[in-house]
């Protein structure tokens, strides 16, 4: 739409005339005091909002510089959407199911498409099956395609049939690396009313690490799949003008200290001040000392420091990055012209107003690791020993001989290996994740450690599973050009493919010797990884300890093989001839890294490697229909039409008295609520799949089944580490069904309650839904019949996903917690959440009816931020709301009854 209210700015770049939103005219002399992220939101609001709402939004943004906070709502219309295979599969399955529903209602299904470009990266399903061998990428890719053929065929159908959906096939890399290297324009050209406009590139992604692209000045953040669907269906996303935390950087990183160390430090510092959902922006004279690659590492970890963004504005180093990754000169000129003309260009001397701010002295940042279970638990790189010692793990007496499994295949070698293992062996050493494999500097540093280790004849011990999973296929080119690929291979770190691998839990099997030693109780193994999360079970279902660290440190810990080694003083290894090799001998100097980096880089790599990977013949050979309606296969165990994509789904609001289905404590993650990792072969989910013809030894990961609601609802809360306070001691994903007094699976309990017309709620502690932006975490709860979640606090994306599924998030008042509530068998919770009374942050009356007749009352707060969210709750969620609108807009020849489910 044309911007009628403000005269556009006229710009000239790369030989062409453009128009742009005149932020200087809109904001006057307040512009320099507004954080850059809010300048971008102002630009977006000015371009997309209209009339009185637009004026109110702009006034509120201007006034923000007086108060540093605001209650006002603004609309945000991103220019594009980014998804990965496991979030896109359910989103696109929903779309396919909605098309089927519309067709049954007499509406042409082809009217339903995305209104925005959607890029889908197939990156989350690559597993480390083969490793430490040169053909590992090909072996793992073949394995991935075979395992996921039906789901991938569906995604190919979506790319053929749904307008605007583009798929980046397996092998093209990790979504956030692709975003940095290929998709981000930083400044886009948009045709508006016959004129060419320059507009800032702004986007959303269905993944919490979407802010990685903030490192090059693109405003974007992670949303739930359901919020993305809202945008894909043409609605803006509404948000309260965010509070903005400023991180003032001064100084420069010391030699040896890497971007990973800074990211872990920032994570610890911002978690310490309780950042929760705010936008974070970096400013100050330290910013220009960081490359765009360094900045992107720090930006990536925004969800780990509790923030929505981790933004670095555009400057000369951003332009350098664009040139290094093969962007053409005209594009780079457009970025510079727009940024300089509209107040978006970074000024290291500027001191904008922030809601609150902290100072990080880059000179004071040290080499770090974080763990063993949370990314914010920052440690010096030699402090793992003390942390692990505090766990006081004592190997079971008898060791290898004690276990029947070890006894059964008691080859002398295996027994000797077990005997040689330390009590906390490094079972996985993985250079993994978009966070730390997108910046060439980090991989080059790892390669240089490998080179020095190779020269000394070092190799990882027999129990360490080593892997290198870069975010981009260009990494193979630049590592090879620097001669480092061979060095990495020589110490066991061959490339295993280009995808999320270990970071998302697709680490494959632990080595047999580790499995045997674990079965014997001889060891408590640890993962050393360059990922961003180390929650128990995240990296591997059997590992509850993991340390996050830079790629070169991963190599050092992998070579040491012992997580308790203090690498400040202990040798990494002692060579065969008795020479103790210390980390300081292996660690590269900044000059060595710079020299190898300079030798390795060719801007042409990025486009060329991506094009080669996009032509993936295995992908293009997959069967994929091209009919407007997806032909559902009733025998499929991968893709099932979900029941909530129906016109008969209604609002869950109302006044009701509910049984607690589940009561959980603090820090329940979306990995607990909807696991992504391997499906245990002895689980009820496995039994369900095997009964339908699947192979018990090849069930793949939960994440690969997100197109099958019948699996996912059974997988809900399938986590060994989750404690159900309502039924302590119940097996995994089980609870107490109160009327019968039986402990049954959650799904069984939910079906019984539903059949009896009974409502259920869930009670949780602080930070409910922390972790990945997993819409199945919300969908699973809806399918379990949960009408409201009463928690002390919610993680931002999960809160939004619950609302997207029509489930009401309620914040309990201070002093009321799952522990103080002390729910006993027969206690019931009354919730008065009538549709007409629900308001953003409005009070909702709750009464706890004790089984002995006592009644305790309190007011909860609706964790609802905007009127749009109120509307979604009243309609039963994004999908029913969209279906109802489509039927109204496009007419229906069949009659449609929209009825409330409750
Ligand atoms: S954080 Fe890990 S799982 Fe998420 S996109 Fe990056 S590599 Fe993949």
How far is ligand 1, taken at its centre, from the CA of residue 16, in Å?
Answer: 38
Does the pLDDT value for residue 233 go beyond 90?
A: no
Residue 214: pLDDT band (50, 70, 90) is very high
pLDDT value for 3: 41
Both tokens assigned to 744: 């049954």
How far is ligand 1, taken at its centre, from the CA of residue 85, in Å?
Answer: 12
How far is ligand 1, taken at its centre, from the CA of residue 471, in Å?
Answer: 9
530 CB within 6 A, ligand 1: no
**For all residues of the chain together, what is the average pLDDT?**
92
Cβ-contact 828, 657 below 8 angstroms: yes
How far is ligand 1, taken at its centre, from the CA of residue 405, in Å?
Answer: 35
Atom of ligand 1 nearest to the CA of 123: 8
Cβ-contact 605, 324 below 8 angstroms: no
The DSSP secondary-structure symbol of 492 reads T
pLDDT value for 538: 85
C-alpha 342/C-alpha 20 separation (Å) is: 8
Q: Tell me the angle at which helices 292-300 and 440-455 cross, rounded to the nearest 10 degrees.
A: 100
C-alpha 725/C-alpha 102 separation (Å) is: 42
Both tokens assigned to 372: 């063993």
pLDDT value for 398: 52
How far is ligand 1, taken at its centre, from the CA of residue 558, in Å?
Answer: 21
How far is ligand 1, taken at its centre, from the CA of residue 810, in Å?
Answer: 30
C-alpha 104/C-alpha 892 separation (Å) is: 9
C-alpha 647/C-alpha 687 separation (Å) is: 32
Cβ-contact 556, 550 below 8 angstroms: no
Both tokens assigned to 204: 């959303």
Both tokens assigned to 749: 């309990």
Does the pLDDT value for residue 4 go beyond 90?
A: no
Residue 661: pLDDT band (50, 70, 90) is very high
The residues, any chain, with a CB within 8 Å of residue 762's CB and separated by 6 or more, are 660, 661, 662, 663, 664, 781, 786, 788, 789, 790
433 CB within 6 A, ligand 1: yes
pLDDT value for 70: 95
pLDDT value for 637: 92
Does the pLDDT value for residue 679 go beyond 70?
A: yes
The residues, any chain, with a CB within 8 Å of residue 125's CB and separated by 6 or more, are 85, 86, 144, 147, 148, 170, 499, 506, 700, 701, 703, 704
Cβ-contact 188, 79 below 8 angstroms: yes
**Element (DSSP H or E) covering residue 338:** helix 329-341
pLDDT tens figures, 829-882: 999 999 999 999 999 999 999 999 999 999 999 999 888 889 999 999 989 998
Residue 414: pLDDT band (50, 70, 90) is low
C-alpha 897/C-alpha 545 separation (Å) is: 52
pLDDT value for 413: 52
Atom of ligand 1 nearest to the CA of 433: 7
Q: Phi and psi (nearest 5°) for 139?
A: -65, -45
Q: Give mean pLDDT, residues 510-515.
A: 94
Point out the least confidently predicted range of 233-247, 425-439, 467-481, 501-515.
Answer: 233-247
Long-range contacts from 869-874, C-beta under 8 angstroms, 24+ separation: 869/238, 869/800, 869/803, 869/840, 870/838, 870/839, 870/840, 872/230, 872/803, 872/804, 872/806, 873/651, 873/652, 873/653, 873/803, 873/806, 873/808, 873/835, 873/838, 874/651, 874/653, 874/835, 874/838
C-alpha 818/C-alpha 856 separation (Å) is: 14
Both tokens assigned to 759: 């409502």
- Taken in order 685, 688, 692, 695, the sign of the CA dihedral is positive
The tally of CA atoms less than 13 A away on the side-chain side of residue 82 is 29
Q: Give mean pLDDT, residues 765-787.
A: 91
500 CB within 6 A, ligand 1: yes
pLDDT value for 5: 61
pLDDT tens figures, 420-435: 899 999 999 999 999 9
Does the pLDDT value for residue 401 go beyond 50?
A: no
532 CB within 6 A, ligand 1: yes
How far is ligand 1, taken at its centre, from the CA of residue 4, in Å?
Answer: 41
Atom of ligand 1 nearest to the CA of 84: 5
pLDDT tens figures, 110-161: 999 998 999 999 999 999 999 999 999 999 999 999 989 999 999 999 999 9
Query: What are the helix and strand counts (H, E) for the chain?
Result: 34, 32
Q: What is the pTM of this model?
A: 0.86
Atom of ligand 1 nearest to the CA of 209: 1
Cβ-contact 454, 491 below 8 angstroms: yes
Residue 771: pLDDT band (50, 70, 90) is confident
441 CB within 6 A, ligand 1: no
Q: Give mean pLDDT, residues 338-358.
A: 98
284: left (phi over 0), alpha (psi -120 to 50) or beta: left
Query: Among residues 158, 150, 165, which one has the least CA distance to residue 115?
Result: 165
How far is ligand 1, taken at its centre, from the CA of residue 358, in Å?
Answer: 27
How far is ligand 1, taken at its centre, from the CA of residue 541, in Å?
Answer: 17
Q: Give mean pLDDT, residues 778-792.
A: 97
222, β-bridge pairs: 205
Among all chains, which residue has been given the structure tokens 């970025």? 335
Does the pLDDT value for residue 772 go beyond 90?
A: no
209 CB within 6 A, ligand 1: yes
Atom of ligand 1 nearest to the CA of 176: 5
- β-pairing verdict for 426-431 and 654-663: unpaired
Question: For residue 758, how many other CB atoms are within 10 A of its CB?
Answer: 17
Mutate to test the pocket of ligand 1, among 504, 539, 675, 701 (most ligand atoms within 8 A of CB): 504
Sheet holding 118-121, edge to edge: 165-168, 118-121, 80-84, 202-205, 219-222
pLDDT tens figures, 58-82: 999 999 999 999 988 898 999 999 9
Q: Give mean pLDDT, residues 35-51.
A: 95
Torsion of the alpha carbons at 509, 511, 514 and 516, rounded to the nearest 10? 80
pLDDT value for 701: 82
Q: Whose CA is nearest to atom 7 of ligand 1?
A: 433
| Residue spans of beta strands (DSSP E) within 218-355 | 219-222, 237-240, 244-250, 279-283, 309-311
How far is ligand 1, taken at its centre, from the CA of residue 84, in Å?
Answer: 9
Query: Among residues 434, 427, 497, 437, which one has the least CA distance to residue 466?
Result: 427
337 CB within 6 A, ligand 1: no
Mutate to test the pocket of ligand 1, among 531, 669, 797 (most ligand atoms within 8 A of CB): 531
pLDDT value for 576: 86
From the number of C-beta atoms within 10 Å of its C-beta (0-12, 13-18, 19+), residue 743 rates as: middle
Does the pLDDT value for residue 410 go beyond 80?
A: no
pLDDT tens figures, 440-449: 999 999 999 9
pLDDT value for 564: 96
Q: How far apart are the first and last CA of the chain?
A: 40
Mutate to test the pocket of ligand 1, among 433, 506, 701 (most ligand atoms within 8 A of CB): 433
CA distances from 693 to 481, 576, 638, 688, 696 (A): 47, 51, 12, 9, 9
Cβ-contact 284, 395 below 8 angstroms: no
Point out the least confidently predicted range of 173-187, 582-596, 733-747, 764-778.
Answer: 764-778
Q: Is the peptide bond before 372 cis (omega within 30 degrees of 0)?
A: yes
Cβ-contact 122, 506 below 8 angstroms: no
Does the pLDDT value for residue 773 go beyond 80?
A: no
Residue 417: pLDDT band (50, 70, 90) is confident
Residue 703: pLDDT band (50, 70, 90) is confident
How far is ligand 1, taken at its centre, from the CA of residue 95, in Å?
Answer: 24
Does the pLDDT value for residue 902 go beyond 70?
A: no
The DSSP secondary-structure symbol of 776 reads H
Q: Is the peptide bond before 114 cis (omega within 30 degrees of 0)?
A: no
472 CB within 6 A, ligand 1: no
Residue 263: pLDDT band (50, 70, 90) is very high
Query: Among residues 865, 536, 839, which one has the least CA distance to residue 671?
Result: 536
Query: Among residues 480, 214, 238, 218, which one has the least CA distance to residue 335?
Result: 218
Cβ-contact 404, 505 below 8 angstroms: no
pLDDT value for 649: 83
774 CB within 6 A, ligand 1: no
Cβ-contact 814, 756 below 8 angstroms: no
Residue 2: pLDDT band (50, 70, 90) is very low
Q: Whose CA is nearest to atom 6 of ligand 1?
A: 434
Instruction: Return the SS3 of 259.
Output: helix
Does the pLDDT value for residue 409 go beyond 60?
A: no
Cβ-contact 445, 593 below 8 angstroms: yes
C-alpha 339/C-alpha 685 separation (Å) is: 52
Query: Among residues 547, 589, 649, which one has the least CA distance to residue 97?
Result: 649
Does the pLDDT value for residue 720 go beyond 90?
A: no
- β-pairing verdict for 843-849 and 855-862: antiparallel
C-alpha 69/C-alpha 893 separation (Å) is: 50
Point out the least confidently predicted range of 44-48, 89-93, 594-598.
Answer: 89-93
C-alpha 418/C-alpha 708 separation (Å) is: 40
Higher-pLDDT residue of 139, 900 = 139
Does the pLDDT value for residue 1 go beyond 60?
A: no
434 CB within 6 A, ligand 1: yes
Does the pLDDT value for residue 416 go beyond 70?
A: no
Mutate to test the pocket of ligand 1, among 209, 211, 299 (most ligand atoms within 8 A of CB): 209
| Residue spans of beta strands (DSSP E) within 206-341 | 219-222, 237-240, 244-250, 279-283, 309-311
Does the pLDDT value for residue 476 go beyond 70?
A: yes
């Amino acid at each position: 739409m044309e911007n009628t209210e403000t005269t556009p700015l006229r710009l000239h770049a790369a030989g062409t005339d453009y128009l742009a939103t005149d932020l200087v005219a809109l904001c006057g002399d307040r512009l320099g005091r507004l954080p850059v992220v809010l300048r971008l939101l102002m630009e977006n609001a000015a371009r997309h909002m209209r009339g009185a709402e637009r004026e109110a939004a702009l006034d509120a943004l201007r006034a923000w510089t007086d108060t540093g906070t605001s209650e006002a709502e603004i609309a945000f219309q991103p220019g594009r959407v980014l998804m990965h295979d496991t979030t896109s599969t359910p989103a696109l399955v929903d779309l396919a199911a909605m098309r089927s529903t519309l067709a049954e209602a007499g509406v042409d299904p082809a009217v339903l498409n995305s209104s925005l470009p959607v890029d889908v990266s197939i990156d989350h399903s690559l597993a480390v099956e083969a490793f430490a061998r040169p053909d590992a990428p090909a072996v793992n890719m073949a394995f991935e395609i075979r395992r996921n053929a039906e789901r991938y065929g569906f995604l190919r159908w979506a790319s053929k049939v749904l307008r605007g959906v583009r798929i980046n096939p397996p092998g093209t890399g990790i979504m956030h690396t692709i975003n940095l290297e290929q998709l981000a324009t930083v400044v886009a050209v948009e045709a508006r009313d016959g004129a060419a406009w320059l507009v800032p590139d702004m986007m959303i992604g269905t993944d919490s690490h979407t802010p990685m692209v903030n490192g090059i000045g693109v405003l974007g953040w992670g949303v739930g799949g359901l919020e993305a669907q809202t945008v894909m269906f043409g609605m803006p996303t509404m948000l309260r003008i965010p509070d903005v935390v400023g991180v003032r950087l001064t100084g420069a990183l010391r030699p040896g200290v890497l971007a990973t160390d800074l990211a872990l430090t920032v994570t610890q510092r911002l978690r310490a001040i309780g950042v929760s959902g705010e936008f974070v922006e970096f400013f100050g004279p330290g910013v220009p000392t960081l490359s765009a690659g360094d900045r992107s590492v720090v930006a990536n970890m925004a969800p780990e420091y509790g923030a929505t963004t981790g933004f670095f504005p555009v400057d000369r180093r951003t332009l350098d990055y664009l040139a290094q990754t093969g962007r053409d000169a005209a594009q780079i000129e457009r970025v510079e012209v727009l940024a300089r003309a509209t107040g978006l260009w970074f000024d290291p001397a500027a001191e904008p107003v922030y809601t609150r701010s902290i100072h990080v002295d880059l000179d004071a940042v040290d080499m770090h690791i974080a763990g063993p279970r949370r990314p914010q638990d920052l440690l010096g790189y030699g402090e793992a020993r003390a942390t692990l010692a505090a766990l006081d793990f004592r190997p079971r007496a008898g060791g290898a001989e004690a276990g029947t499994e070890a006894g059964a295949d008691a080859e002398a070698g295996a027994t000797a290996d077990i005997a040689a293992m330390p009590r906390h062996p490094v079972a996985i050493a993985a250079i993994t994740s978009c966070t730390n494999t997108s910046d060439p500097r980090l991989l080059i540093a790892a390669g240089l450690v490998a080179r020095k280790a190779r020269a000394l004849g070092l190799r990882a011990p027999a129990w360490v599973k080593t892997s290198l999973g870069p975010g981009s296929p260009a990494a193979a080119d630049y590592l090879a050009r620097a001669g480092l690929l061979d060095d990495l291979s020589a110490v066991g770190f061959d490339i295993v493919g280009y995808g999320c691998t270990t970071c998302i839990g697709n680490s494959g099997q632990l080595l047999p010797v580790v499995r045997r030693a674990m079965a014997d109780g001889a060891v408590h193994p640890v993962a050393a990884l360059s990922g961003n999360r180390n929650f128990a079970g995240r990296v591997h279902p059997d590992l509850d300890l993991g340390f996050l660290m830079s790629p070169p440190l991963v190599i050092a810990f992998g070579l040491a093989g012992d997580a308790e080694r203090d690498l400040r003083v202990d040798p990494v290894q002692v060579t065969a001839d008795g020479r103790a090799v210390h980390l300081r001998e292996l660690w590269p100097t900044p000059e060595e890294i710079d020299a190898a980096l300079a030798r390795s880089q060719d801007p042409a790599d990025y486009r060329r490697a991506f094009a080669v990977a996009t032509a993936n013949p295995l992908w293009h050979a997959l069967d994929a229909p091209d009919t407007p309606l997806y032909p559902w296969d009733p025998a499929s165990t991968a893709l099932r039409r979900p029941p909530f994509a129906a016109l008969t789904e209604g609002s869950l609001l109302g006044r009701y008295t509910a049984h607690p289905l589940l009561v959980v404590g603090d820090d329940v993650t979306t990995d607990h609520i909807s696991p992504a990792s391997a499906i245990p072969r002895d689980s009820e989910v496995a039994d369900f799949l095997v009964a339908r013809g699947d192979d018990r030894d090849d069930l793949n990961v939960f994440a690969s089944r997100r197109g099958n609601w019948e699996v996912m609802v059974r997988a809900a809360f399938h986590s060994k580490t989750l404690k159900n306070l309502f039924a302590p001691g119940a097996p995994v994903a089980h609870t107490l069904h109160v009327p019968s007094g039986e402990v049954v699976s959650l799904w069984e309990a939910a079906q019984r309650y539903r059949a009896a017309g009974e409502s259920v709620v869930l009670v949780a502690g602080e930070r409910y839904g922390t972790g990945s932006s997993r819409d199945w975490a919300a969908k699973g709860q809806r399918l379990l019949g949960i009408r409201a979640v009463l928690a002390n606090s919610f993680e931002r994306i999960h809160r939004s996903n619950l609302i997207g599924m029509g489930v009401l998030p309620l914040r309990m008042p201070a002093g009321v917690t799952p522990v103080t509530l002390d729910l006993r068998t027969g206690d019931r919770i009354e919730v008065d959440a009538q549709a007409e009374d629900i308001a953003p942050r409005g009070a909702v009356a709750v009464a706890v009816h004790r089984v002995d007749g006592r009644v305790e009352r309190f007011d909860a707060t609706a964790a609802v931020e905007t009127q749009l969210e109120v509307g979604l709750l009243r309609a039963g969620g994004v999908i029913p709301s969209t279906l109802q609108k489509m039927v109204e807009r496009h007419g229906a020849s069949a009659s449609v009854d929209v009825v409330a489910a409750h």
